[in-house]
Structure 1
Amino acid sequence: MSVSTKYNYPPKISILRFFLDVEGVRRDPIPYHRRYFDKLGDSFSIQIGVSRHIILSRNNDVAEYILQKNQKNYYKSKFQSVYLSKYLGNGLLTVDGEFWLKQRRLIQPAFHKQKMNQLVENMEQIIVSELNNLIEEKSIDLFPVMSELAFNVVAKSLFQFSISDEKLNRIKFIIEEVQNFLIKEIRLPHKAWWFSISGQVKKHLKLADENNKIIQEIIEERIASKSEVNDLLNMLLETRYEDSGEGMPVVQLIDEIKILFTAGHETTANALTFTLHLLGNHPDAQLKIFDEIVKIESETDNVIEQLQKMTFINAVLNESMRLYPPAWITDRENVEDDNLAGFNIRKGTLIGVSFYELHRNPKYWENPNEFIPERFLGEQKKKSLQYFYPFGAGPRMCIGAGFAIYEMCLTLSYIVKRYVIKSTKNEIQFNPLITLKPVGAEVIFSKR
């Protein structure tokens, strides 16, 4: 755009309204976002100072444009690149540009479908082991159970037999502690000075460093053993950069493993919790899953073939992630001036896309707040997928999406085959942190 270009933005929230709402937004932004969208349209903006703008959108054209059509002009914001990288290092989730592309090309083959198929047998064993002693006939809080399962699936798929329970529990503790503090830093930027002088930043950086050392020990032990194990660590150690033919440096491998741990377990735990809660309120959908499993198992005992036939289970998962997307929001900043959905925006504009609101936008979805898995079956599926972002979109789409789907399908099929699920509440509460975290989802498992 030329120097004389006039910038214009979507309808603005007044600064007064913004400051009146700011504390409530910090606690739970979703009700405020909904109110602003209903009043101002599918995109709105906030002006900070003379020239700084923030845009929030539930417009599919905006999502497609910044994530796919013109993604090279849109980098991750400092919330992801600065705050996250401070504790998680420079892995796929936190870097941009040429370095991100180089890492993506290096790691992508390890997550190819054929490679994921090799991990399925081990994944199934972990899931069976974790769910073997589910509490029956008593109301239980789902999220801790699903969190433990998802963490162990990621950890043992990464390291298989190379990690002790003591180290595993320490990694889990550190990840949770650091993430909880990170949320405070992002939500309460005006308290940054206090977090620093009170020693909280130093404490959590020290924890992150301890995590690095634990993972480094595991990697170095594996390299020294020269043993070939069928896990993700082995696949990552075997990868080679196109230009040099060399493997990933250990320091970089540590950063990528931390990203896989952090991004790979909580989003899956969230999705499984929301899905089981929804199934607990929809016995008809449970019965359809049960019938599908029985039919599939009568046709083949090959787990990969079974996974490929789980069309209704996949539809249930998709509909659950539509209503409660684990990664509920994403953001980008434009590197250069641009025209975004008819608005001339200055470089450095922060653009957020609320997948939670986009997935419930009546412009794209009929009866948007209802649980209707059939949206993701047959001809309807093609239409639904146009407006569906459970793992993001474009080149930066979540690299572990296939892994997560396998894990969730195996978990749901195991549970529904053995148990009838009943939710104790119709509505579910959630906390929109970095991910959309379910709160107080309680169900009763009864032997089928």
Structure 2
Amino acid sequence: MERVEARPVPGAPQGGQGPGAVPEADLTALHTVTTGTVLRNRKRILKNPLPFHRENFERHGHTFRVQIGLGSPVVFTRHPDLIRHILQKNHRGYSKSTLQTRDLAKYIGHGILTSEGKFWKRHRRLIQPAFHKEKLEGLLGLMFQTIRAELASLPEGREFDVFPHMSDLAFQVVARSLFSAGDLRRDMRRLQQITQDNQEMLIREMRQPYLVWWFRLTGRIRRHLSLSADARSLLDTIISKRVASGQEKHDLLDMLLAARYEDGTPMTRAQLIDEVMVLFTAGHETTANALSFALHLLACNPEVQDKAAAQARSLDWERTPPMALLQGLPLVRQCVEEAMRLYPPVYVIDRVSLREETLGGQRFPKGTTWLLSVVELHRLPQLWEEADAFRPERFASENPRRPSEHFYPFGAGPRMCIGNNFAMYEMVLALGWMLHQFQINTPVRSLEIQPLISLKPGQVPLSLIPRP
């Protein structure tokens, strides 16, 4: 794990100057990082690939290529024009890589996160209405009730690691929003552990592809696939009980059960379980990560924390409806957004070209894998004033330079995360409630980070002092 400072980040391009234009992508002299270089750095890459990426960006410019053996090249970029081209302007010319559609899918199934083409489009259209703002507003009361119940167990007056608490919080919010029931904690603990174990296995497969044969031979992959089968069986039992009860809870599960394709047919049970698996996998860890980073950054920046706390404490949390609370916490929302800029949960996005294309004067063959570095884009000093500083006011609605084109915490384009509003509502309510209750302190100025499926912190030591 690499130690990363809260402000500034060692080794990051220093952003003291104001933003300026990034030169157009000229890829005619694109540098290729060789197989030998990758192999010499394999231990570092396995532990944390981000410093290796940073070194190559600083050495070779905003885009470089990695060639491993005789396979198709992998191109890394943090260039804003290339990222916008791939995610938005020419999104039809690219697909998700097999890391999602095959490797991740074998553990969580073929939901909208892991599917492509017509199948993805059909299911995205089916599920999207459940995550419209007006639908989510009906879940806010349950969401806030869960947040308050989970945060009530936080220790006070002593140092503790907040990340496990944020992980439990985010998982329970997803579980309660899906199932409403209050007697599923044991099942949800089991599901949470399976999700974490399978993610760790997938990371090993991704960063040590030369050992996949060994993982298969020793039965490690088979054991994790068995865990996935256990998780699916657990969810199938929960769904069967709901259907048999005939009750309507008006939760996400009800919305998914009621969803219909264009021909009027519902999802199959297997497909429904796939989509629920995706919601648990993608819906809880990214939120837990972002909340943990936000709490650490606020603890390191007490002036910002005091302003955000004053805003939170000006509201009547007992009588104000949750949507009105959200509308009364603009600075808290800005703090969440700035935390996701500095530490984006989705720190890299992968795409594969579906046809040959010439970009920046360089020809790229069909099948080229692109790795779009969101974490590097979010810290480019040419795009962000004081790029490494925690400055939530840059996201204020009245800021004429409010960033949007280069801010991708939930991805961009048609494949943007379907649960972005759900996640933002949850994070703003949780952070606002904590600021209303506590002064947040930390003994450290730096955190260890673990770039797994999402960008995860190591330990996040905090202490909470009740506000009078």
Q: Same fold (TM over 0.5)?
A: yes
The AA in structure 2 aligned to 1:337 is: E
| In 1: Cα distance, 2:459 partner to 2:386 partner | 25
The correspondence of residues 89-238 of structure 1 with structure 2, limited to 5 A, is 89-161=109-181, 164-238=184-258
The correspondence of residues 267-346 of structure 1 with structure 2, limited to 5 A, is 267-297=286-316, 301-346=320-365
Alpha carbons 1:329, 1:353 under 8 Å: kept:
yes
How far 1:52 sits from its partner (Å)?
2.0
Alpha carbons 2:394, 2:403 under 8 Å: kept:
yes
1:413 aligns with 2:441: no
| In 2: Cα distance, 1:407 partner to 1:442 partner | 22
Alpha carbons 1:300, 1:306 under 8 Å: kept:
no
Residue of structure 2 equivalent to 1:4: none
Alpha carbons 1:75, 1:333 under 8 Å: kept:
yes
How far 1:365 sits from its partner (Å)?
1.0
Task: Give the secondary-structure state (helix, strand or coil) at the position aligned to 2:40.
Answer: helix
The AA in structure 1 aligned to 2:232 is: N
Show CA shifts across 1:104-155 (max 9, x none): 0000000000011000000000011001121011100011010011000101
Alpha carbons 1:270, 1:436 under 8 Å: kept:
yes
How far 1:63 sits from its partner (Å)?
1.3
Residue of structure 2 equivalent to 1:428: 447
| In 1: Cα distance, 2:444 partner to 2:29 partner | 42
Tell me which moved more, 176-185 or 333-342: 333-342
The AA in structure 1 aligned to 2:337 is: N
| In 2: Cα distance, 1:48 partner to 1:193 partner | 17
**Kindly tell me: are residues 34 and 192 of structure 1, through their superposed partners in 2, closer, same or farther at Cα, counting changes over 3 Å?**
same
| In 2: Cα distance, 1:102 partner to 1:9 partner | 41
How far 1:48 sits from its partner (Å)?
3.3
1:44 aligns with 2:64: yes
Alpha carbons 1:419, 1:446 under 8 Å: kept:
yes
Unaligned runs of 5+ in 2: 1-26
Instruction: Tell me which of 421, 445, 448 is aligned to 2:464.
Output: 445
Q: Structure 2 length normalisation: TM-score? A: 0.91
| In 2: Cα distance, 1:420 partner to 1:111 partner | 33
Residue of structure 1 equivalent to 2:31: 11
The AA in structure 2 aligned to 1:362 is: P
Instruction: Give % identity.
Output: 41
Residue of structure 2 equivalent to 1:84: 104
Q: How many residues align?
A: 441
| In 2: Cα distance, 1:93 partner to 1:139 partner | 37
Task: Give the secondary-structure state (helix, strand or coil) at the position aligned to 2:67.
Answer: strand
| In 2: Cα distance, 1:389 partner to 1:332 partner | 15
| In 1: Cα distance, 2:311 partner to 2:182 partner | 36
Alpha carbons 1:8, 1:345 under 8 Å: kept:
no
Following TM superposition, where does structure 1 have runs of at least 4 consecutive aligned residues deviating by more than 6 angstroms? none
| In 2: Cα distance, 1:378 partner to 1:405 partner | 16
Alpha carbons 1:355, 1:389 under 8 Å: kept:
yes
Residue of structure 2 equivalent to 1:35: 55
How far 1:381 sits from its partner (Å)?
6.4
**Kindly tell me: are residues 9 and 18 of structure 1, through their superposed partners in 2, closer, same or farther at Cα, counting changes over 3 Å?**
farther
How far 1:342 sits from its partner (Å)?
4.1
Show CA shifts across 1:269-288 (max 9, x none): 00000000011111111111
Task: Give the secondary-structure state (helix, strand or coil) at the position aligned to 2:73.
Answer: strand
Q: Structure 1 length normalisation: TM-score? A: 0.95
Alpha carbons 1:9, 1:45 under 8 Å: kept:
no
The AA in structure 1 aligned to 2:148 is: V
Task: Give the secondary-structure state (helix, strand or coil) at the position aligned to 1:48.
Answer: coil
Unaligned runs of 5+ in 1: 1-6
Alpha carbons 1:10, 1:55 under 8 Å: kept:
no
Show CA shifts across 1:322-352 (max 9, x none): 0000111110001111233443211100000
Task: Give the secondary-structure state (helix, strand or coil) at the position aligned to 2:202.
Answer: helix
The correspondence of residues 54-93 of structure 1 with structure 2, limited to 5 A, is 54-93=74-113
Residue of structure 1 equivalent to 2:11: none
How far 1:66 sits from its partner (Å)?
1.1
| In 2: Cα distance, 1:447 partner to 1:165 partner | 28
How far 1:300 sits from its partner (Å)?
7.7
Show CA shifts across 1:241-288 (max 9, x none): 01x111111110000000000000000000000000011111111111
Show CA shifts across 1:192-216 (max 9, x none): 1221121111111111011111111
1:349 aligns with 2:381: no
| In 2: Cα distance, 1:164 partner to 1:381 partner | 47
Task: Give the secondary-structure state (helix, strand or coil) at the position aligned to 1:339.
Answer: strand
Task: Give the secondary-structure state (helix, strand or coil) at the position aligned to 1:428.
Answer: strand
**Kindly tell me: are residues 335 and 218 of structure 1, through their superposed partners in 2, closer, same or farther at Cα, counting changes over 3 Å?**
same
| Higher RCO (CA-CA < 8 Å; seq separation 6+) | 2
The AA in structure 2 aligned to 1:365 is: W
